[in-house]
Amino acid sequence: MISDKQIMRILVDRAIEETPVLDMHTHIYTPCFGDLLLYGVDELITYHYLIAETFRYTGMPYARYWAMSKKEQADFIYQTLFIEHTPVSESCRGVLTVLRKLGAPVGGSLNSIRDYLKRFSREEFVDKVFELSHVDRAVMTNDPFDEQEHAVWRSGYVADRRFVPALRLDGLLVYFEKNVDTLVRRGYRVSRALDETTFAELRRFLEDEIGRMGAVYMAVSLPDTFRYPDDSVATRIIDECVLPVATRLNIPFALMIGVKRQVNPGLLLAGDAVGKTAIESIERLCADNPRTKFLATLLSRENQHELCVMARKFRNLLIFGCWWFLNNPSIIDEMTRMRLELLGTSMVPQHSDARVLDQLIYKWTHSRSIIAAVLKDKYADLMDTGWPLREEEIRRDAGLLLGGAFEAFLKLRFEE
Ligand code: RAT
Ligand code: ZN
Protein backbone atom coordinates (compact mmCIF):
# COMPACT_ATOMS: atom_id res chain seq x y z
CA MET A 1 0.00 0.00 0.00
CA ILE A 2 1.24 3.46 -0.86
CA SER A 3 1.61 5.70 2.20
CA ASP A 4 0.41 9.30 2.59
CA LYS A 5 4.00 10.47 2.61
CA GLN A 6 4.78 8.68 -0.62
CA ILE A 7 1.77 10.37 -2.21
CA MET A 8 2.91 13.72 -0.84
CA ARG A 9 6.34 13.23 -2.40
CA ILE A 10 4.84 12.51 -5.80
CA LEU A 11 2.59 15.57 -5.51
CA VAL A 12 5.52 17.81 -4.56
CA ASP A 13 7.60 16.69 -7.53
CA ARG A 14 4.65 17.24 -9.81
CA ALA A 15 3.78 20.68 -8.41
CA ILE A 16 7.37 21.95 -8.59
CA GLU A 17 7.77 20.56 -12.11
CA GLU A 18 4.52 21.99 -13.41
CA THR A 19 4.72 25.45 -11.86
CA PRO A 20 6.17 28.02 -14.26
CA VAL A 21 8.96 30.20 -12.87
CA LEU A 22 9.15 33.95 -12.58
CA ASP A 23 12.93 34.35 -12.52
CA MET A 24 13.57 37.60 -10.67
CA HIS A 25 17.17 38.31 -11.66
CA THR A 26 18.99 37.43 -14.87
CA HIS A 27 21.34 39.05 -17.38
CA ILE A 28 19.50 37.90 -20.49
CA TYR A 29 17.73 40.24 -22.89
CA THR A 30 14.69 40.49 -25.10
CA PRO A 31 15.72 39.33 -28.61
CA CYS A 32 15.41 42.90 -29.97
CA PHE A 33 18.63 43.76 -28.10
CA GLY A 34 20.59 41.85 -30.76
CA ASP A 35 23.93 40.43 -29.68
CA LEU A 36 23.38 41.49 -26.05
CA LEU A 37 21.30 38.32 -25.79
CA LEU A 38 23.94 35.63 -25.37
CA TYR A 39 23.07 32.05 -26.26
CA GLY A 40 24.57 28.86 -27.68
CA VAL A 41 27.21 26.38 -26.64
CA ASP A 42 30.26 28.62 -27.10
CA GLU A 43 28.76 31.27 -24.83
CA LEU A 44 27.71 28.57 -22.38
CA ILE A 45 31.21 27.14 -22.15
CA THR A 46 32.93 30.52 -21.88
CA TYR A 47 30.67 31.58 -18.95
CA HIS A 48 32.89 33.38 -16.46
CA TYR A 49 32.32 30.73 -13.77
CA LEU A 50 34.05 28.22 -16.09
CA ILE A 51 36.85 30.61 -17.03
CA ALA A 52 37.87 30.86 -13.37
CA GLU A 53 37.80 27.06 -13.05
CA THR A 54 39.88 26.54 -16.20
CA PHE A 55 42.75 28.68 -14.94
CA ARG A 56 43.04 26.40 -11.90
CA TYR A 57 44.64 23.87 -14.29
CA THR A 58 46.88 25.95 -16.53
CA GLY A 59 49.89 28.23 -16.36
CA MET A 60 48.87 30.02 -19.55
CA PRO A 61 49.08 33.84 -19.38
CA TYR A 62 45.61 35.37 -18.95
CA ALA A 63 46.23 37.71 -21.89
CA ARG A 64 46.72 34.78 -24.25
CA TYR A 65 43.28 33.46 -23.36
CA TRP A 66 41.62 36.84 -23.90
CA ALA A 67 43.32 37.20 -27.30
CA MET A 68 41.63 34.02 -28.58
CA SER A 69 38.39 34.04 -30.57
CA LYS A 70 35.23 32.95 -28.70
CA LYS A 71 35.37 29.58 -30.49
CA GLU A 72 39.01 29.03 -29.51
CA GLN A 73 38.25 29.98 -25.92
CA ALA A 74 35.41 27.46 -25.84
CA ASP A 75 37.64 24.76 -27.34
CA PHE A 76 40.29 25.47 -24.71
CA ILE A 77 37.84 25.36 -21.80
CA TYR A 78 36.15 22.22 -23.11
CA GLN A 79 39.52 20.50 -23.52
CA THR A 80 40.67 21.54 -20.02
CA LEU A 81 37.52 21.07 -17.95
CA PHE A 82 35.64 18.33 -19.80
CA ILE A 83 38.32 16.21 -21.50
CA GLU A 84 41.46 16.50 -19.38
CA HIS A 85 39.45 16.65 -16.14
CA THR A 86 36.11 15.29 -15.03
CA PRO A 87 33.34 17.92 -15.22
CA VAL A 88 32.06 17.47 -11.68
CA SER A 89 31.85 21.13 -10.67
CA GLU A 90 28.39 22.71 -10.60
CA SER A 91 29.17 25.00 -13.54
CA CYS A 92 30.41 22.10 -15.67
CA ARG A 93 27.48 19.94 -14.68
CA GLY A 94 25.26 22.84 -15.68
CA VAL A 95 26.58 22.80 -19.23
CA LEU A 96 25.90 19.07 -19.46
CA THR A 97 22.35 19.40 -18.11
CA VAL A 98 21.64 22.01 -20.79
CA LEU A 99 23.02 19.78 -23.53
CA ARG A 100 21.09 16.76 -22.31
CA LYS A 101 17.82 18.65 -22.17
CA LEU A 102 18.40 20.04 -25.67
CA GLY A 103 19.06 16.51 -26.93
CA ALA A 104 22.67 17.31 -27.91
CA PRO A 105 25.35 14.60 -27.81
CA VAL A 106 26.61 14.80 -24.22
CA GLY A 107 30.19 13.53 -24.13
CA GLY A 108 30.67 14.12 -27.85
CA SER A 109 33.18 16.49 -29.38
CA LEU A 110 32.43 20.18 -29.14
CA ASN A 111 32.11 20.31 -32.92
CA SER A 112 29.46 17.59 -32.91
CA ILE A 113 27.52 19.61 -30.33
CA ARG A 114 27.87 22.77 -32.42
CA ASP A 115 26.59 20.90 -35.47
CA TYR A 116 23.63 19.52 -33.55
CA LEU A 117 22.57 22.96 -32.33
CA LYS A 118 22.56 24.42 -35.84
CA ARG A 119 19.09 22.96 -36.29
CA PHE A 120 17.56 25.78 -34.22
CA SER A 121 17.02 29.28 -35.56
CA ARG A 122 17.58 32.02 -32.97
CA GLU A 123 13.84 32.45 -32.54
CA GLU A 124 13.22 28.72 -32.19
CA PHE A 125 16.02 28.49 -29.69
CA VAL A 126 14.57 31.19 -27.45
CA ASP A 127 11.20 29.40 -27.48
CA LYS A 128 12.88 26.05 -26.81
CA VAL A 129 14.80 27.34 -23.79
CA PHE A 130 11.71 28.87 -22.19
CA GLU A 131 9.82 25.64 -22.82
CA LEU A 132 12.52 23.34 -21.44
CA SER A 133 13.25 25.46 -18.38
CA HIS A 134 9.56 26.07 -17.82
CA VAL A 135 10.28 29.71 -17.12
CA ASP A 136 7.33 31.98 -17.71
CA ARG A 137 9.11 35.32 -17.32
CA ALA A 138 12.69 36.39 -16.61
CA VAL A 139 13.63 39.77 -15.16
CA MET A 140 16.46 41.47 -17.07
CA THR A 141 19.26 43.70 -15.75
CA ASN A 142 18.96 46.95 -17.69
CA ASP A 143 21.87 49.34 -17.38
CA PRO A 144 20.88 52.84 -18.50
CA PHE A 145 24.56 53.73 -19.05
CA ASP A 146 25.21 50.92 -21.51
CA GLU A 147 25.13 52.83 -24.80
CA GLN A 148 24.28 49.78 -26.90
CA GLU A 149 21.34 48.98 -24.68
CA HIS A 150 20.27 52.60 -24.37
CA ALA A 151 20.06 52.95 -28.16
CA VAL A 152 17.54 50.09 -28.30
CA TRP A 153 15.43 51.59 -25.52
CA ARG A 154 15.29 54.86 -27.46
CA SER A 155 14.21 53.16 -30.66
CA GLY A 156 13.73 49.61 -31.78
CA TYR A 157 12.62 48.10 -28.48
CA VAL A 158 10.06 45.36 -28.98
CA ALA A 159 8.50 44.14 -25.76
CA ASP A 160 8.29 40.38 -25.28
CA ARG A 161 6.16 39.30 -22.32
CA ARG A 162 8.76 36.72 -21.29
CA PHE A 163 11.32 39.44 -20.48
CA VAL A 164 10.64 41.90 -17.68
CA PRO A 165 12.81 45.05 -17.31
CA ALA A 166 14.63 46.11 -14.12
CA LEU A 167 16.69 49.29 -13.82
CA ARG A 168 20.28 48.70 -12.72
CA LEU A 169 21.78 51.51 -10.66
CA ASP A 170 25.50 50.64 -10.40
CA GLY A 171 26.22 53.41 -12.91
CA LEU A 172 24.63 55.92 -10.57
CA LEU A 173 25.58 54.69 -7.11
CA VAL A 174 29.01 53.20 -7.73
CA TYR A 175 30.27 55.02 -10.85
CA PHE A 176 28.48 58.38 -10.60
CA GLU A 177 31.55 60.53 -11.37
CA LYS A 178 32.20 58.55 -14.53
CA ASN A 179 28.66 59.01 -15.79
CA VAL A 180 28.08 62.71 -15.10
CA ASP A 181 29.04 63.69 -18.66
CA THR A 182 26.66 61.14 -20.15
CA LEU A 183 23.82 62.49 -18.02
CA VAL A 184 24.62 66.05 -19.09
CA ARG A 185 24.74 64.97 -22.74
CA ARG A 186 21.31 63.42 -22.31
CA GLY A 187 19.90 66.72 -21.04
CA TYR A 188 20.05 66.33 -17.26
CA ARG A 189 21.44 69.34 -15.36
CA VAL A 190 23.66 67.37 -13.01
CA SER A 191 27.08 68.16 -11.59
CA ARG A 192 29.65 66.43 -9.45
CA ALA A 193 28.79 68.91 -6.70
CA LEU A 194 25.70 66.88 -5.74
CA ASP A 195 23.60 69.99 -5.11
CA GLU A 196 19.80 70.24 -4.94
CA THR A 197 19.46 70.69 -8.71
CA THR A 198 21.51 67.56 -9.31
CA PHE A 199 19.33 65.51 -6.95
CA ALA A 200 16.14 66.77 -8.58
CA GLU A 201 17.54 65.97 -12.01
CA LEU A 202 18.63 62.49 -10.92
CA ARG A 203 15.12 61.81 -9.64
CA ARG A 204 13.82 62.93 -13.03
CA PHE A 205 16.36 60.64 -14.73
CA LEU A 206 15.25 57.64 -12.63
CA GLU A 207 11.58 58.26 -13.30
CA ASP A 208 12.24 58.72 -17.03
CA GLU A 209 14.13 55.44 -17.25
CA ILE A 210 11.66 53.49 -15.13
CA GLY A 211 8.80 54.87 -17.21
CA ARG A 212 10.46 54.18 -20.54
CA MET A 213 11.38 50.62 -19.61
CA GLY A 214 8.45 49.74 -17.44
CA ALA A 215 11.02 48.57 -14.86
CA VAL A 216 9.59 46.53 -11.98
CA TYR A 217 12.39 47.37 -9.56
CA MET A 218 15.69 49.26 -9.25
CA ALA A 219 18.80 47.28 -8.35
CA VAL A 220 22.43 47.69 -7.44
CA SER A 221 25.34 45.37 -6.81
CA LEU A 222 27.59 46.65 -4.04
CA PRO A 223 30.90 45.64 -2.48
CA ASP A 224 31.17 43.92 0.89
CA THR A 225 32.55 47.21 2.24
CA PHE A 226 29.26 49.02 1.55
CA ARG A 227 28.02 50.90 4.60
CA TYR A 228 24.78 52.81 4.95
CA PRO A 229 24.60 55.51 6.01
CA ASP A 230 27.99 57.09 5.55
CA ASP A 231 29.26 60.22 3.83
CA SER A 232 29.66 58.59 0.41
CA VAL A 233 28.11 59.56 -2.91
CA ALA A 234 26.13 56.31 -2.77
CA THR A 235 24.44 57.16 0.55
CA ARG A 236 23.58 60.66 -0.64
CA ILE A 237 22.06 59.50 -3.92
CA ILE A 238 20.19 56.69 -2.16
CA ASP A 239 18.72 59.16 0.35
CA GLU A 240 17.93 61.99 -2.02
CA CYS A 241 16.95 60.11 -5.17
CA VAL A 242 16.54 56.34 -5.01
CA LEU A 243 14.43 56.08 -1.85
CA PRO A 244 12.03 58.93 -2.75
CA VAL A 245 11.49 57.51 -6.25
CA ALA A 246 11.10 53.92 -4.99
CA THR A 247 8.55 55.06 -2.43
CA ARG A 248 6.62 57.35 -4.75
CA LEU A 249 6.36 54.72 -7.51
CA ASN A 250 6.03 51.87 -4.99
CA ILE A 251 8.71 49.78 -6.67
CA PRO A 252 11.38 47.90 -4.70
CA PHE A 253 15.02 48.83 -4.39
CA ALA A 254 17.09 45.64 -4.73
CA LEU A 255 20.39 45.40 -2.90
CA MET A 256 22.90 42.78 -3.96
CA ILE A 257 25.81 43.11 -1.56
CA GLY A 258 29.10 41.32 -1.02
CA VAL A 259 31.19 41.46 -4.19
CA LYS A 260 34.92 42.02 -3.75
CA ARG A 261 35.60 43.55 -7.11
CA GLN A 262 38.57 42.50 -9.18
CA VAL A 263 40.74 40.69 -6.65
CA ASN A 264 42.34 39.23 -9.78
CA PRO A 265 41.94 41.67 -12.68
CA GLY A 266 43.65 39.27 -15.10
CA LEU A 267 40.46 37.20 -15.02
CA LEU A 268 38.26 40.19 -15.98
CA LEU A 269 34.60 39.37 -15.20
CA ALA A 270 35.76 36.13 -13.55
CA GLY A 271 38.06 38.07 -11.22
CA ASP A 272 35.56 39.14 -8.55
CA ALA A 273 35.46 37.48 -5.12
CA VAL A 274 33.28 37.59 -2.02
CA GLY A 275 33.32 39.32 1.37
CA LYS A 276 30.97 39.38 4.36
CA THR A 277 29.08 42.64 4.67
CA ALA A 278 27.57 44.57 7.59
CA ILE A 279 23.90 43.62 7.96
CA GLU A 280 23.31 46.91 9.83
CA SER A 281 23.13 48.76 6.50
CA ILE A 282 20.03 46.80 5.54
CA GLU A 283 18.61 47.15 9.04
CA ARG A 284 18.90 50.94 8.86
CA LEU A 285 17.39 51.18 5.39
CA CYS A 286 14.40 49.01 6.30
CA ALA A 287 13.83 50.60 9.70
CA ASP A 288 14.04 54.20 8.51
CA ASN A 289 11.90 53.66 5.39
CA PRO A 290 8.96 51.48 6.41
CA ARG A 291 6.94 52.44 3.32
CA THR A 292 9.78 51.58 0.92
CA LYS A 293 10.17 48.03 -0.36
CA PHE A 294 13.58 46.36 -0.39
CA LEU A 295 14.78 43.20 -2.06
CA ALA A 296 18.08 41.78 -0.86
CA THR A 297 20.52 39.03 -1.63
CA LEU A 298 23.93 38.76 0.00
CA LEU A 299 26.88 36.99 -1.54
CA SER A 300 28.58 35.68 1.56
CA ARG A 301 27.38 32.47 3.16
CA GLU A 302 28.25 33.97 6.55
CA ASN A 303 25.57 36.67 6.09
CA GLN A 304 22.67 34.32 5.36
CA HIS A 305 21.33 33.64 8.85
CA GLU A 306 21.29 37.27 9.96
CA LEU A 307 19.65 38.23 6.67
CA CYS A 308 16.82 35.78 7.39
CA VAL A 309 16.42 37.26 10.85
CA MET A 310 16.33 40.75 9.36
CA ALA A 311 13.50 39.68 7.04
CA ARG A 312 11.55 38.43 10.08
CA LYS A 313 11.81 41.93 11.57
CA PHE A 314 10.93 43.96 8.48
CA ARG A 315 7.95 43.16 6.27
CA ASN A 316 9.31 45.63 3.71
CA LEU A 317 12.27 43.30 3.06
CA LEU A 318 12.04 40.33 0.70
CA ILE A 319 15.16 38.20 0.48
CA PHE A 320 15.95 36.30 -2.68
CA GLY A 321 18.17 33.80 -4.44
CA CYS A 322 21.38 31.89 -3.84
CA TRP A 323 23.65 34.28 -5.60
CA TRP A 324 26.72 33.42 -7.72
CA PHE A 325 29.20 31.55 -5.45
CA LEU A 326 26.25 30.34 -3.36
CA ASN A 327 24.59 28.73 -6.33
CA ASN A 328 25.86 25.23 -5.52
CA PRO A 329 23.61 22.34 -4.49
CA SER A 330 24.99 21.95 -0.98
CA ILE A 331 24.57 25.64 -0.18
CA ILE A 332 21.21 26.02 -1.94
CA ASP A 333 19.95 23.10 0.12
CA GLU A 334 21.15 24.61 3.40
CA MET A 335 19.88 28.12 2.60
CA THR A 336 16.49 26.93 1.39
CA ARG A 337 15.93 24.88 4.55
CA MET A 338 16.94 27.75 6.80
CA ARG A 339 14.75 30.23 4.95
CA LEU A 340 11.68 27.97 5.04
CA GLU A 341 12.23 27.36 8.73
CA LEU A 342 12.58 31.06 9.54
CA LEU A 343 10.30 32.66 6.97
CA GLY A 344 7.88 30.05 5.64
CA THR A 345 7.05 30.86 2.04
CA SER A 346 7.61 34.61 2.40
CA MET A 347 10.90 34.56 0.50
CA VAL A 348 12.26 33.81 -2.97
CA PRO A 349 14.48 30.73 -2.75
CA GLN A 350 16.16 31.17 -6.07
CA HIS A 351 16.92 33.33 -9.10
CA SER A 352 19.00 32.11 -12.03
CA ASP A 353 21.42 34.98 -12.71
CA ALA A 354 21.58 33.48 -16.21
CA ARG A 355 23.99 35.41 -18.43
CA VAL A 356 23.53 33.01 -21.30
CA LEU A 357 19.95 32.19 -22.25
CA ASP A 358 20.58 28.41 -22.22
CA GLN A 359 21.50 28.60 -18.52
CA LEU A 360 17.85 29.03 -17.61
CA ILE A 361 17.57 25.31 -18.33
CA TYR A 362 20.17 24.05 -15.90
CA LYS A 363 19.79 26.65 -13.20
CA TRP A 364 16.09 25.82 -12.89
CA THR A 365 16.42 22.06 -13.36
CA HIS A 366 18.97 21.88 -10.58
CA SER A 367 17.19 24.32 -8.25
CA ARG A 368 13.76 22.81 -8.76
CA SER A 369 15.01 19.44 -7.56
CA ILE A 370 16.57 20.92 -4.41
CA ILE A 371 13.51 23.01 -3.60
CA ALA A 372 11.35 19.90 -4.03
CA ALA A 373 13.62 17.79 -1.80
CA VAL A 374 13.56 20.39 0.98
CA LEU A 375 9.80 20.79 0.74
CA LYS A 376 9.29 17.04 1.02
CA ASP A 377 11.22 16.97 4.28
CA LYS A 378 9.33 19.94 5.68
CA TYR A 379 5.95 18.46 4.70
CA ALA A 380 6.89 15.10 6.23
CA ASP A 381 7.58 16.89 9.52
CA LEU A 382 4.30 18.73 9.18
CA MET A 383 2.37 15.51 8.56
CA ASP A 384 3.92 13.99 11.66
CA THR A 385 2.06 16.61 13.70
CA GLY A 386 -1.24 15.36 12.29
CA TRP A 387 -1.73 18.32 9.92
CA PRO A 388 -3.88 17.09 6.99
CA LEU A 389 -1.73 18.47 4.18
CA ARG A 390 -3.78 19.01 1.03
CA GLU A 391 -2.69 19.05 -2.60
CA GLU A 392 -3.94 22.66 -2.97
CA GLU A 393 -1.52 23.71 -0.27
CA ILE A 394 1.38 22.02 -2.05
CA ARG A 395 0.45 23.75 -5.32
CA ARG A 396 0.01 27.09 -3.58
CA ASP A 397 3.46 26.79 -1.97
CA ALA A 398 5.11 25.82 -5.27
CA GLY A 399 3.52 28.90 -6.84
CA LEU A 400 4.77 31.18 -4.07
CA LEU A 401 8.29 29.78 -4.07
CA LEU A 402 8.76 29.89 -7.84
CA GLY A 403 7.73 33.52 -8.27
CA GLY A 404 4.42 34.16 -6.53
CA ALA A 405 5.99 35.62 -3.39
CA PHE A 406 7.93 38.09 -5.52
CA GLU A 407 4.85 39.10 -7.53
CA ALA A 408 2.80 39.56 -4.37
CA PHE A 409 5.57 41.77 -2.94
CA LEU A 410 5.54 43.93 -6.07
CA LYS A 411 1.83 44.53 -5.54
CA LEU A 412 2.05 45.23 -1.81
CA ARG A 413 1.77 48.76 -0.50
CA PHE A 414 2.84 49.58 3.05
CA GLU A 415 0.81 52.28 4.74
CA GLU A 416 2.06 53.82 7.96
O1 RAT B 1 26.52 36.25 -11.33
C2 RAT B 1 27.16 36.90 -12.14
O3 RAT B 1 27.22 36.57 -13.32
C4 RAT B 1 27.94 38.09 -11.69
O5 RAT B 1 28.93 38.34 -12.57
C6 RAT B 1 27.19 39.37 -11.58
O7 RAT B 1 26.62 39.73 -12.80
C8 RAT B 1 26.14 39.52 -10.57
O9 RAT B 1 25.18 38.54 -10.66
C10 RAT B 1 25.50 40.88 -10.64
O11 RAT B 1 24.32 41.00 -10.98
O12 RAT B 1 26.21 41.84 -10.34
ZN1 ZN C 1 23.50 39.13 -11.57
- Work out which ligand 1 atom sits closest to the CA atom of 272: 5
Angle at which helices 359-384 and 391-399 cross, to 10°: 140
> Per-residue pLDDT averaged across 79-89, rounded?
98
Identify the residue whose C-alpha is closest to ligand 1 atom 1: 324
Report the share of the chain in percent with pLDDT over 70: 100
Is 355 touching ligand 1 by the criterion CB < 6 Å?
yes
Angle at which helices 4-18 and 359-384 cross, to 10°: 150
**Residue 103 counted as domain residue:** yes
φ, ψ of residue 346 in degrees (nearest 5): -90, 55
Q: 165: domain CATH number? A: 3.20.20.140
**Residue 73 counted as domain residue:** yes
Q: Burial-class residue 369 by CB neighbours within 10 Å (0-12, 13-18, 19+).
A: middle
The confidence score (pLDDT) of residue 1 equals 84
The confidence score (pLDDT) of residue 224 equals 98
Distance 353 CA to ligand 2 centre (A): 5
Which among 121, 105, 96, 143 is positioned nearest to 39, based on CA atoms? Answer: 121
The number of domains in the chain is 1
Which residues, 6 or more positions from 48, have their beta carbon under 8 angstroms from its beta carbon?
267, 268, 269, 270, 355
Identify the residue whose C-alpha is closest to ligand 1 atom 12: 221
Distance 220 CA to ligand 2 centre (A): 10
**Residue 287 counted as domain residue:** yes
**Residue 156 counted as domain residue:** yes
**Residue 416 counted as domain residue:** no
The mean pLDDT of the chain is 98
The confidence score (pLDDT) of residue 216 equals 99
Ligand 1 pocket test: which of 324, 328, 351 has the largest number of ligand atoms within 8 Å of its C-beta? 324
Distance 25 CA to ligand 2 centre (A): 6
**Residue 92 counted as domain residue:** yes
Considering every ligand atom shown, identify the ligand nearest to the alpha carbon of residue 24 and give its number.
Answer: 2
Distance CA 269, CA 285 (A): 29
| pLDDT beyond 90 at 374 | yes
**Which tens digit of pLDDT belongs to each residue from 240-290?**
999 999 999 999 999 999 999 999 999 999 999 999 999 999 999 999 999
| pLDDT beyond 90 at 15 | yes
Is 326 touching ligand 1 by the criterion CB < 6 Å?
no
**Which tens digit of pLDDT belongs to each residue from 194-248?**
999 999 999 999 999 999 999 999 999 999 999 999 999 999 999 999 999 999 9
Amino acid occupying residue 2: I
> Per-residue pLDDT averaged across 136-162, rounded?
98
pTM for the whole structure:
0.98
**Residue 366 counted as domain residue:** yes
Domain hosting 107: range is 4-411
Is 324 touching ligand 1 by the criterion CB < 6 Å?
yes
The HSE-up count of residue 126 (CA atoms within 13 Å, CB side) is 16
Is 359 touching ligand 1 by the criterion CB < 6 Å?
no
> Per-residue pLDDT averaged across 162-180, rounded?
98
Amino acid occupying residue 406: F
> Per-residue pLDDT averaged across 148-154, rounded?
98
Distance CA 215, CA 220 (A): 14
CB neighbours (10 Å) of residue 66?
Answer: 12
| pLDDT beyond 80 at 416 | no
Distance 125 CA to ligand 1 centre (A): 23
Residue 80 to residues 59, 76, 105, 109, 387: CA-CA distances in angstroms?
Answer: 12, 6, 19, 13, 52
Is 33 touching ligand 1 by the criterion CB < 6 Å?
no
The confidence score (pLDDT) of residue 92 equals 98
Kindly indicate the confidence band of residue 61, based on its pLDDT and cuts at 50, 70 and 90: very high
**SS3 sequence of the chain:** CCCHHHHHHHHHHHHHHHCCEEECCCCCCCHHHHHHCECCHHHHHCCHHHHHHHHHHCCCCHHHHHHCCHHHHHHHHHHHHHHCCCCCCHHHHHHHHHHHHHCCCCCCCHHHHHHHHCCCCHHHHHHHHHHHHCEEEEECCECCCCHHHHHHHHCCCCCCCCEECCEECHHHHCCHHHHHHHHHHCCCCCCCCCCHHHHHHHHHHHHHHHHHHCCCCEEEEEECCCCCCCCCHHHHHHHHHHHHHHHHHCCCEEEEEEEECCCCHHHHHHHCEECCCCCHHHHHHHHHCCCCCEEEEECCHHHHHHHHHHHHHCCCEEEECCCHHHCCHHHHHHHHHHHHHHHCCCCECCCCCCCECCHHHHHHHHHHHHHHHHHHHHHHHHHHCCCCCCHHHHHHHHHHHHHHHHHHHHHCCCCC
The confidence score (pLDDT) of residue 62 equals 98
Distance 44 CA to ligand 1 centre (A): 15
Identify the residue whose C-alpha is closest to ligand 1 atom 4: 324
Which among 25, 98, 17 is positioned nearest to 394, based on CA atoms? Answer: 17
